[in-house]
Structure 1
Amino acid sequence: MLTITSDFDSGNILCKSAEDPSNIELEIKPDGKAAFFQWFYYCVEGGEGQNLVMRLTNADGASYQGGWKDYHAVASYDQEEWFRVASTSFDGRELTIRHAPDKDKVWYAYFAPYPTSRYRTYIDNIKASSVLKDAVLGETLDGQEIHYFQAGSGPRQMWVIARQHPGEAMGSWWMEGFLERLTDDTDEGAGALLEKATLHIVPCMNLDGVKRGHLRTNAAGKDLNRAWRNTTMEESPEVYLVREKMRETGVDFFLDVHGDEAIPNNFLDNAFGIPSWDERHEKLFATYSSRLLDISKDFQTKQGYPPAAPGKANLDIANSYVAETWNCLSMTLEMPFKDANVNPDPEHGWSPARCRNFAREHLTVMAEIADMLR
Structure 2
Amino acid sequence: MSISISGKIPTGSIEVVDEHDAANLQLRLLRDPGDDHLAIGYYHFRASGIRGQSCTYRILDVAEDASARLAGREGYEDGWTNTGPHASYDLKHWFRIPATLEGRDYVFSHVPEHDVCYYARWAPYPPQREMDFIARCQRSPRVSLSTFGRSGLGADLDLMTIGTPGPGKKACWIISRQHPSETMSGYFVEGAVERLLDEHDPIVTSLLQRAVFYVVPNINPDGTQLGHTRANGLGYNLNREWVAPSLERSPEVFHTQALMKKLGVDFCIDCHGDEELRCVFLGGPLEIPSRSEHLDTLFKTFERAWNAASPDYELGHPYPGGSPAEADLRMAWNWIAEEYNCLSVLLEQPFKDTSWWQDPIQGWSPERATRLGRELPTAVHGVLDQLR
TM-score, normalisation: structure 1: 0.97
Aligned position for 1:58: 61
Aligned position for 2:352: 338
Find the aligned partners of 1:53 and 1:337 in 2 and give their Cα distance. Answer: 22
Indicate conservation of the 8 Å contact 1:64/1:262, yes or no.
no
Report the Cα offset of residue 63 of structure 1.
5.4
Indicate conservation of the 8 Å contact 2:305/2:378, yes or no.
no
Find the aligned partners of 1:343 and 1:189 in 2 and give their Cα distance. Answer: 27
1:5 aligns with 2:21: no
Aligned position for 1:367: 381
What one-letter code is carried by the residue in structure 2 that aligns with 1:140?
A: S
User: 1:172 is paired with a residue of what secondary structure?
Assistant: helix
Q: Please list the CA deviations of residues 49-77 of structure 1 after superposition, one character each: whole Å capped at 9, or x if unmatched.
A: 01100000021121556111211210000
Find the aligned partners of 1:339 and 1:64 in 2 and give their Cα distance. Answer: 21
Aligned position for 1:142: 153
Report the Cα offset of residue 368 of structure 1.
2.2
Report the Cα offset of residue 193 of structure 1.
1.1
Report the Cα offset of residue 249 of structure 1.
1.2
Aligned position for 1:293: 307
Indicate conservation of the 8 Å contact 1:38/1:64, yes or no.
no
Aligned position for 1:308: 324
Query: Structure 1: which 4+ aligned runs deviate by more than 4 Å?
Result: none
Listed as ranges, the gaps of 5+ residues in structure 2 are: 70-77
Aligned position for 2:262: 248
1:89 aligns with 2:93: no
Find the aligned partners of 1:213 and 1:92 in 2 and give their Cα distance. Answer: 26
Q: Please list the CA deviations of residues 295-340 of structure 1 after superposition, one character each: whole Å capped at 9, or x if unmatched.
A: 212111333433121xx21111111100110000110000001122
User: 1:22 is paired with a residue of what secondary structure?
Assistant: helix
Indicate conservation of the 8 Å contact 2:161/2:212, yes or no.
yes
User: 2:22 is paired with a residue of what secondary structure?
Assistant: coil
Report the Cα offset of residue 115 of structure 1.
2.5
1:132 aligns with 2:143: yes
User: Of the candidates 113, 117, 133, which is equivalent to residue 122 of structure 1?
Assistant: 133
Find the aligned partners of 1:39 and 1:256 in 2 and give their Cα distance. Answer: 20
What one-letter code is carried by the residue in structure 2 that aligns with 1:99?
A: H
Find the aligned partners of 1:118 and 1:75 in 2 and give their Cα distance. Answer: 18
What one-letter code is carried by the residue in structure 1 that aligns with 2:193?
A: L
Give the number of aligned pairs: 371
Aligned position for 1:33: 34
Aligned position for 1:155: 169
What one-letter code is carried by the residue in structure 2 that aligns with 1:51?
A: S
Moved more, 359-368 or 10-19: 359-368
Report the Cα offset of residue 243 of structure 1.
0.5
TM-score, normalisation: structure 2: 0.93
User: Of the candidates 57, 63, 68, which is equivalent to residue 80 of structure 2?
Assistant: 68
What one-letter code is carried by the residue in structure 1 that aligns with 2:138?
A: K
RMSD: 1.3
Aligned position for 2:276: 262
Indicate conservation of the 8 Å contact 1:74/1:108, yes or no.
yes
Q: Please list the CA deviations of residues 189-228 of structure 1 after superposition, one character each: whole Å capped at 9, or x if unmatched.
A: 1111111211111011111001100000101111001000
Find the aligned partners of 1:298 and 1:101 in 2 and give their Cα distance. Answer: 31
Aligned position for 2:75: none
Find the aligned partners of 1:221 and 1:302 in 2 and give their Cα distance. Answer: 36
What one-letter code is carried by the residue in structure 2 that aligns with 1:41?
A: H
What one-letter code is carried by the residue in structure 1 that aligns with 2:86?
A: V
Find the aligned partners of 2:305 and 2:384 in 1 and give their Cα distance. Answer: 13
User: Of the candidates 219, 226, 230, which is equivalent to residue 233 of structure 2?
Assistant: 219
What one-letter code is carried by the residue in structure 1 that aligns with 2:295?
A: H
Indicate conservation of the 8 Å contact 2:336/2:344, yes or no.
yes
User: 1:118 is paired with a residue of what secondary structure?
Assistant: helix
What one-letter code is carried by the residue in structure 2 that aligns with 1:79?
A: L
Report the Cα offset of residue 146 of structure 1.
0.4
Moved more, 146-155 or 204-213: 146-155
Report the Cα offset of residue 292 of structure 1.
1.2
Indicate conservation of the 8 Å contact 1:299/1:342, yes or no.
no
Q: Please list the CA deviations of residues 235-285 of structure 1 after superposition, one character each: whole Å capped at 9, or x if unmatched.
A: 111111110010011111111011011111101011222111010010000
Find the aligned partners of 1:121 and 1:157 in 2 and give their Cα distance. Answer: 26
Find the aligned partners of 1:94 and 1:114 in 2 and give their Cα distance. Answer: 26
Q: Percent identity between the aligned chains?
A: 34
Listed as ranges, the gaps of 5+ residues in structure 1 are: none
